[in-house]
Chain A
Amino acid sequence: MASEITPKGYIEHHLTNLTYGQFPDGHWGWATNVAEVKQMGFMAIHVDSVLFAVLLGVGFSFFFYKVAKKASTGVPQGFQNFCEWVIEFIDNSVRGSFTGKSNLIAPLSLTIFFWIMLMNMMDLIPIDWIPHLAYSMGIPFLKVVPTADINVTLGMSMTVFILILFYSFKFKGPGGFFSELAFQPFPKWLMPANLILEGINLIAKPISLALRLFGNLYAGEMIFILIALLYSAGWVLAGAGVFLQLGWAIFHIFIIMLQAFIFMTLTIVYLDMAQQEHH
C-alpha cells in the first residue's frame, strides 16, 4: 500500500474494521471496501475486533486460571504475587464501593478491568505493524484495538446495563423499581416528567460507559495515526514524530489504566445503586 497512500486513505484504512456480513442481495461475505461495510448495516461482524477481544480475553482467563490453580497459601512466587496484587486491588475497590454482598461483582470487576486494560494496550503496539502484516497476507483491513470499536464498548456496557436492570428488579421488585423511576424527584402528579428524567438517567449509564471508553481510545488511536502520518512528511517532521509518538504512548499508558479503572468503578457504583433501597 506504500505507493498509493494519501492521508485521507491512510486514516480511512486504519479506521475500517475487517468486516464479514450480509450484502444487500442476501449473501454473506467479506467486505472489501468502506462502501460495502456501510451497505451491510447491522448484519455484519467486525471480525478483527471480535478476534482480538476474544484472544485477549482467553489469554487473560488462561493466565489467571493457571495461577489460580497453583495458588498456594505459602510464600507467593512470581506470577502469583502479581495476580494476588491485582485481586487484592479489585477486592478493595469492590468492598469500598459495593455495599451489598455478591459473588458476581468482584469477578465481574476483575474481568472488566483486566480485559479492558489488555484491549486498550493493543494501542501501544506501533500502529502499522499488525495491519501491515495482515495486509501483506491479503487481509484488506485490520483494526487491532477492540475498545476503539463502539460495538465492543457498547456490548460490554449493555451487558452491565442488563445486570443493572436485573439487580434493580431483584432487590427492589418491579413496583419498587417503577416507583423509583416514576415518583421522584418530583411529586407523583408529575409522573411523566419523572419518567422522562429518570429514564434518561437510566439510559445514560450504559451509553456514557460505552462512549467514554470508546471516545478515549478512538481519540488516542487517531492521534497515533496522525503522528504516523508525519513519518511520510520529510526528515524533520519524521524526527519530531518519533518523539511525539513516544510521548503520546507514555501518556497513553495512563489513559489505558485510567479508562479500565473508570469502567470498572462505575460498573460497581451503578450496580451498588441498583441493589440499594434508596429514598
Chain B
Amino acid sequence: MNINLTLIMQSISFVLFVWFCMRFVWPPMIAALTQRKKQISDGLAAADKGLKAEAEAMVQAETDIAAAKSQANEIISKAEKRGSEIVDEAKADAKAEADRILVAANAEIDQEFNRAKEQLRTQVASIVIQGAEKVLEKEIDEKAHTDIVNKLVAEI
C-alpha cells in the first residue's frame, strides 16, 4: 500500500470533472427538467380550464336554447292572432263594400224608375192631347186645354 503522486493526480482530475459537470452538465439538465415540470403543470391547468369553460358553455347553450324556444312560441302565437285579425278585418271590409254597392244599386233603380215615370207622364200628356184633338176634331184653345190636361196628367 503505497501512497504516492497518484493521489494528487486523482484529486486534480476529480476537481476538473466536478467543475465540468457543474459548468456544462448539471444546469442544462436541471433547466430542462424544471421547464418540463412547468409545461406539464401549465398543460394540466389549461386542460382544467378548458373543461370548466366547456361546462359553462353547455349551461349557457341550454339557457340560450330555452330562451329561443320561448321566443319562437311567442312569435307563433302573435302571428296566429294577427292572422285571425286580418281575416276578421277582411270580412268586415267585404261586408261594408257589399252594403255600399247594394245602396248605390237601390238608388240607381229609384232614379231610373222616376225618370221613366216622368217620361211616361209627358208622353201620356201629348198622346192624350193628340187623341183629344183627333176625337174632338176641333180646334181647341191649346193653351187653356194644356193646362187642363197638365192638371190631369198631374193626377195620374
A interface residue numbers (CB < 8 A to B): 17, 19, 21, 37-38, 40-46, 49-50, 53-54, 57, 60-61, 64-65, 67-69, 71-74, 76, 83-84, 87-88, 91, 103-104, 106-108, 110-111, 115, 146, 149-152, 154-156, 158-159
Contacts and interface: CB of A to CB of B under 8 A. Distances in A.
Contacts of A146: 10
A45 B26 contact: no
A44 B8 CA distance: 11
A84 B29 CA distance: 7
A38 B2 contact: yes
A43 B33 contact: no
A46 B33 contact: no
B6 A61 contact: no
Contacts of B87: none
Contacts of A149: 6
Interface in B92-108: none
Nearest to A162: B11
A56 to B, nearest CB: 10
Instruction: Identify whether the interface residues of B are mostly helix, strand, loop, or mixed.
Output: helix
Contact of B22 (A17, A108, A158): A108
Contacts of A53: 10, 13
B32 interface: yes
B104 to A, nearest CB: 95
B1 A150 contact: yes
28 contacts: A17-B6, A37-B2, A40-B4, A43-B4, A49-B6, A50-B6, A53-B13, A61-B17, A65-B20, A68-B24, A68-B28, A73-B32, A83-B29, A88-B33, A91-B30, A104-B18, A106-B30, A108-B22, A111-B14, A111-B21, A115-B14, A150-B3, A152-B6, A152-B10, A154-B3, A154-B7, A158-B11, A159-B14
A120 to B, nearest CB: 15
Instruction: Identify whether the interface residues of A are mostly helix, strand, loop, or mixed.
Output: helix
A21 B4 CA distance: 9
A4 B43 CA distance: 70
Most A CB within 10 A of own CB, among B22, B31, B39: B22
Contacts of A60: 17
A61 B25 CA distance: 8
B152 interface: no
Interface of B: 1-11, 13-15, 17-18, 20-22, 24-26, 28-33, 35-36, 39
Given A45-B9, A50-B9, A151-B4, A71 B29 contact: yes
A155 B32 contact: no
Contact of A67 (B2, B8, B29): B29
Contacts of A44: 2, 4-6
B18 A45 contact: no
B17 A151 contact: no
A118 to B, nearest CB: 11
Contacts of B7: 151-152, 154-155, 158
B81 to A, nearest CB: 66
B43 to A, nearest CB: 12
A107 B18 contact: yes
A151 B6 CA distance: 6
Nearest to B12: A155
A150 to B, nearest CB: 6
A126 to B, nearest CB: 25
A44 B7 CA distance: 10
